[in-house]
A and B are shown apart, each in its own frame.
Chain A
Amino acid sequence: MPETDDDLALALRELGERLDLPAPVDPVGAAVGRIVSPDAFSRRKWSPGRPFQVQERVGLAAAALILVALAGVLAVPRSRQAVADWLGIGKVTVTYTGDVPEAAGRTYDFGTPVSSADAVATAERAGWELEAPPTAGDPARAFIGRPTGAVTLVWAPSGELPDIDDTGIGLLLTAIPGTTDAGGVTKRGTSGMTVELVRVGESPAYWIAGEPHEVVVTDAEGDPVHDSSRLAGNTLVWTEGDVTYRLESALDRKEALDLASALRPLH
């Protein structure tokens, strides 16, 4: 029999390892089935399977990317548990870390600047349709290629679009096609960052607000590119079909959701 508390703890841990549970009935699958099938989700517009197949691939990619992006942080035991808890949706991964470094300057790299028409054409050539909220007016700038295949639209501050933390930007919308496994965005935040699960139309979405969070873009090889685009606005992340959208603004949750729900093809 155990002679010390350590021995007793060891014996208990051994019991835990040998805990004999019935053959799993897949509680996760059963739970998700109960969530998807009831009334609230019964009128989803997507065809069964298709977006899920894409998201499954993307989810695997996101899981792989996070391991790369957070390897350095994982080395710090104190933040290991925090980092281990993450939320991912589409091409965006949200992580909690012990800290977020101070912004090093105010330089944003959203990719290669192009005209809005060229951004639309780029998306069309890649087989997807770029959408934007008509109520926001025409975007002031458009960028492509960061992360790979993505299009970022930028709106200037206006009466309806408050300046995001004195950045001179009122709204940032990044559309990331999810048809490849490489490339994506990781958002890292402190424990002051809050994440809520919401919905944009029929799609689950994350509303990320609170303390500043860092955006780390991963390149086509899946390597994280630090010191890239970084804002401190509230962010809404969701997927529509093959495309993951990230909408960053100083709007509150309802305003952002209204804007996101009203996306229409940009011409």
Chain B
Amino acid sequence: MDAYASLLRMHEGAARRLAAVVCGSPGEADEAAQDAFVKAWYGMAGFRDGAAFRPWLLRIVANEARNRRRSAGRRASYELRFAEDRASGGAAPSPEAAVLAADRRRTVAAALAELPTPQRDVVACRYLVGLDEAETAAVLGLPRGTVKSRAARGLARLRGLLPERVEIGGSGDA
């Protein structure tokens, strides 16, 4: 069991982030990840094809997160939160730059929330979680070509949403 826990620790960060961006609810992320870890243990017999462990585990996490999203129903909002600027050893941004950066983040996040779910899942996996194309395909159970096309369409749609957001002035609350 200790070995299993060690294995999970290696992938815990990605699992929590994935659960959050798929659920669209940070509060659900840990519960979804926890349920997925338990299911992965009892479903380890399904890990038979010699596939890499990480995508296999993350796929279970993604499925668990999607189930929670479906359970929440259509009215559930996609509400992620993002940290503000922190001192990171470099030069601190000016107050004006910090406000602009925060505004940009809110705008992009709000646009992300408006993407159709299939595109948003792919964009979130690829860019917010940092999975590569093959991993995203494995985790979401999609052909690689579908990941590629949804990512392209998702980015294009995001781009279409962004200028309007700019004019609004970042009033969207991410």
Which residues of A pack against B, CB within 8 Å? 1-2, 5, 8-9, 11-16, 18-22, 24-25, 27-32, 34-36, 41, 52, 55-56, 59, 63, 81-82, 84-90, 96, 189-198, 204, 210-211
Check if B50 sits within 8 Å of A13, measured CB to CB.
Answer: no
Known A20-B80, A82-B52, A210-B50; 17 more pairs at CB < 8 Å:
A2-B159, A13-B130, A14-B105, A20-B26, A20-B81, A21-B30, A31-B41, A32-B1, A35-B1, A56-B2, A81-B135, A88-B6, A89-B3, A189-B50, A191-B51, A194-B48, A197-B44
Residues of B within 8 A of A25 (CB): 30, 34
Which residues of B pack against A, CB within 8 Å? 1-9, 12, 15-17, 20-21, 26-27, 29-31, 33-35, 37-38, 41-42, 44-45, 47-54, 80-83, 104-105, 107-109, 112, 123, 127-130, 132, 135, 155, 158-159, 162-163, 166
Residue of A nearest to B156 (CB): A5
Check if B3 sits within 8 Å of A11, measured CB to CB.
Answer: no
Check if B155 sits within 8 Å of A28, measured CB to CB.
Answer: no
- Interface majority SS (helix, strand, loop, mixed), chain B: helix
Q: List 20 A-B contacts (CB under 8 A).
A: A1-B163, A2-B108, A18-B83, A19-B80, A19-B81, A19-B82, A20-B26, A21-B26, A25-B34, A28-B8, A28-B9, A31-B8, A31-B37, A35-B38, A55-B2, A55-B3, A59-B2, A84-B54, A194-B49, A197-B44
